Amino acid sequence: MHDGSTPHEQSWGGWLDDQQQPLVVVFAAAWNDPDASVLEAVRAELRGLGAGMLVVASDAAFCFRPDCDVDETLPPALLEAEALAALQRRIGLRAGELDTGDLILTLLDDESNVRMQSVQEGPPSAAVAVLETLRWAGKSAAFGSRVLFSRREAVMLSLIGAVALSASACQRPAKPPAPARPARGAEHEVEVVLNVNGADQRLRLEPRVTLLDALRERLLLTGTKKGCDHGQCGACTVLLDGRRVNACLVLAITARGKRIITIEGLGTRNTLDPVQAAFVHEDALQCGYCTPGQIMSAKGLLAEGRAHTDDDVREHMSGNLCRCGAYANIVRAIQSVRGSAAPG
């Protein structure tokens, strides 16, 4: 809750900086007084994610905090036209963008940096649209916690995935995410558009940033692992225009105009990619740290069509190390996929 300062002493910059938690910012033409059951479901999902929500609409303006049962009424000073315009600029919205009547959902991390933005064309119920997004995010966060994500990483990763999912279901493509706010003193950053898992991501990066760091640190696609960071272990393997590469050895700016596929782009929790399913069935993992890189390398290997015998597979997968020693099962998993794809 606020510290008792007068409305005129408040500012969106200070208010956002005080949140210290992920925040979902929703601009909608109207909130339309949704059913109590829908609101309670939205609150439950936000509590589960440890995220707050700010709603600004023509008929409602409030903030929900996961640790408080009462919605916080925003100070009038924050809802004045100039103040709202400042908020829109802060989260990367252009003048007039709210006049379309679309629902615009923006994700801020716990340092108030814009991480992702999506647009949904005039949904019949803004609250229902937000609830569907949050429910997907909750499932993703629960899954992430089982694969050694921290609570903060799970929340951010799941919310970003949820926003991306809601954008893909829109009638028009979602606009590219707002560039991440550059660090102080980063005078030499350049704008880079990367096509990751079928979606364009607009970033500002220093030319020396590797594809691995761009994926993990800027896009929070942490399934691609950082192992040796010298191209020797294969934990960071991704597909670049269908070819397997070590992301730690590729500069992000050189990946412009190419199709990047990471482990997050292969399958879903309910429909695994055949290689993912084979790794599970053959128990081809132990600690799991190298597994994303092993799977991506296996995908590339199978597409290349060069390895046929077990010895061929061992040779062409030799750039991917498994310190747990699951090599025999990895070979069986790859060969089972090859066998299931064979004619007859």
pLDDT, tens digit, 9 for 90 and up, residues 269-305:
789 999 999 999 999 999 999 999 999 999 999 999 8
Query: H or E stretch including 22?
Result: none
User: For residue 183, what are the contacts with CB-CB under 8 A and spacing of at least 6?
Assistant: none
Fold topology of 274-340: DNA polymerase; domain 1 (1.10.150)
What's at 268, amino acid-wise?
T
Spatial contact of 79 and 13, defined as CB atoms under 8 Å apart = no
- For 82-102, give the DSSP string: HHHHHHHHHTTPPTTGGGG--
Q: Which residues contact 313 (CB under 8 A, 6 or more apart)?
A: 301, 307, 331, 334, 335
| Percent of the chain's residues with pLDDT above 70 | 76
What the block records as the tokens of 24 is: 């979902």
C-alpha–C-alpha distance, residues 287 and 271, integer Å: 22
What was the pLDDT predicted at 137? 60
Looking at the domain 190-265, which fold is it? Ubiquitin-like (UB roll) (3.10.20)
User: Looking at domain 7-168, which of 2.30.30, 3.40.30, 3.30.1490, 3.40.50 is its CATH number?
Assistant: 3.40.30
What's the token pair of residue 49?
């994610």
Predicted TM-score (pTM) of the model is: 0.49
Dihedral sign computed on CA atoms, order 90, 140, 292, 277: negative
CA distance 342 to 344: 6
CA–CA distance from 215 to each of 122, 218, 241, 267 (Å)? 31, 6, 16, 18
Let me know the angle formed at the C-alpha of 47 by 18 and 216, rounded to the nearest 5 degrees.
70
Token pair listed for 281: 């069935």
Helices marked H in the chain — which ranges?
12-17, 36-49, 81-90, 126-145, 151-168, 211-213, 274-281, 291-304, 310-316, 327-340
Please list the rounded mean pLDDT of every run of 10 residues in the chain (344 residues): 43 73 84 82 78 84 77 80 81 69 78 73 76 66 42 58 54 49 60 94 92 94 93 96 95 95 90 95 94 96 91 95 95 92 48
**Residue 18 class from Cβ within 10 Å (0-12 exposed, 13-18 middle, 19+ buried)?**
exposed
Query: Computed from CA positions of residues 267, 215, 181, 143, in that sequence, does the dihedral angle turn out positive or negative?
Result: positive
Can you give the pLDDT at residue 174?
47
Boundaries of every domain in the chain = 7-168, 190-265, 274-340
**7-168 and 190-265: identical CATH topology:** no
User: Is 173:118 a contact under the CB 8 Å cutoff?
Assistant: no
The rounded distance, in Å, linking the Cα atoms of 266 and 154 is: 19
pLDDT of residue 160: 62
pLDDT at 150: 52
| The token pair that represents 342 in the structure block | 């064979």
Alpha carbon distances (Å) from 227 to 136, 197, 329 = 30, 22, 21
Q: What is the pLDDT of residues 24-77, one digit of tens each?
A: 888 888 888 788 888 888 888 777 777 888 888 887 888 887 767 677 888 787
